[in-house]
Amino acid sequence: MGLGLDDRMQIAALAARTGVGNPLTGAVLLVDDEPNNVHVLRDLLEEHWEVHAAYSGAEALALLERTPIDVVVADQRMPGMTGVELLEALRERRPDVAGIVLTGYADMQALESAINRAHAFRFLRKPWEAAEILQAIEQACAFVGQRRTIDRLVTLLARRGEELSASLAELQAQQQALLHLERLGSVGRLSAGVAHDLRNVMVGLRAAEWELAQKELAPGLRQILEIGLNHIDNLLRTLQMLREYSRRGSLELSADLVDPAAVVGDAVALSRMDLTFRRRRVSADVEPGLPPLRADRQKLVQVLLNLVRNALQASAEDGEVEVRARRRGGQLEVAVEDRGPGVSAELRAHLFQPFVSGKGDEGLGMGLYMSRLIVDAHGGRIAVADRPGGGARFEILLPAGSEVAAGAARGGAP
């Protein structure tokens, strides 16, 4: 039993409920080289459909390029292009349109071609019955409507899926940002307490340093005290910056003209206070005549010092650490290279995020993150790569002579 007008109404209702719109155009194309045949069919169909006519396969294909159609009813025996050939071409261009083939001959070969090659919806013999034609077109329209509705629903589902994925990703990013801020707040409160206690310790140590300076001491003992005080000073600066960032969400910069060679020199000199320095070989190569930077010297020294100390710790006994500064286009490149084990691809993807340490369970995992924030604040970037020949290469790129507005270092969640 065929599908009738009620079925078309149900398809339209389904399309309306899903918001994809009515997929049917209500248009039928009649193709026959005999005008009388077209006239008879038009009189039968135009009460229920918008009827279009073509008198050859080529004319039908041209009309289909510019006119929305649901069903094509084509005569098989036409000069130039048969009905099956027309539907075969239609299948390539408009696969959403159903085709019905009419023929006055018991041609089984044409029937097989209509099914296998052209994927015709129905194959009807002449003389046809009016009820048979009406039923075939109703069924073809129902089939077309279902197919187009499914295609539109699939497209809609894919789009909604993409939107849902984007919303989920945004929600996850917001959750990560909240977690990031909460952890930074905890670190800020912790750093404030630790810094307070360290300052009290420093008062005593500075007093002891003054007392010991009045006495004759072994050079090694005096150096140990200087190294310890230097490490505490550096730790206090880091804690102060962590507290500042956790409270403001930004870093305050003091923008002055800075000689890149002086930044490298300060970082290498301070790294001498590290106990591993004397068991490594550290070299600095600064290209002569580098233009000055407008930057926060203390913070850039802190970044470079952190990279040099990391390289010292990654190097074996008598290993070599190299610090280089040179022009790179319109930028200044400062690189720190070591010959250690390098940085794994898995760790590299997260290395500059907070609470990620390349030293396993050692350290808070904030050093490289803070370094990234400082470099970002200066309009530059920091990255890690493999050193040719083995080891790691950390490089900083800064715009030479760039203006850095004080307080411009606003960071965000990773």
Alpha-helical regions (H) of 249-366: 260-271, 297-314, 345-348
3-state secondary structure of 331: strand
Domains, the chain: 5-162 (3.40.50.2300), 251-410 (3.30.565.10)
Give the predicted TM-score (pTM) of the model. Answer: 0.49
pLDDT at 58: 93
pLDDT at 76: 87
pLDDT at 259: 92
Longest dimension (CA), the chain: 126
State the helix-helix crossing angle for 219-248 and 367-377, rounded to 10 degrees: 60
Q: Are the CB atoms for 25 and 70 separated by under 8 Å?
A: yes
3-state secondary structure of 336: strand
- Structure token digits, residue 77: 């025996």
* Sites in the chain below the pLDDT cut of 70: 1-15, 18, 105-116, 177-197, 201, 217-231, 234-235, 242, 245-250, 275, 355, 357-365, 401-414
> Tens of pLDDT along 176-186?
766 666 666 66
pLDDT at 273: 72
Burial profile 303-331: b = 16 or more Cβ within 10 angstroms, e = fewer: bbbbbbbbbbbbbeeebebbbbbeeeeeb
pLDDT at 1: 37
Phi-psi category of 318—alpha, beta or left, where left has phi over 0 and alpha has psi -120 to 50? Answer: left
> Tens of pLDDT along 330-376?
899 999 999 999 888 888 888 887 767 666 555 556 778 888 988 98
Question: What are the two backbone dihedrals, phi and then psi, of residue 248, each rounded to the nearest 5 degrees?
Answer: -100, -25
pLDDT at 59: 95
pLDDT at 110: 58
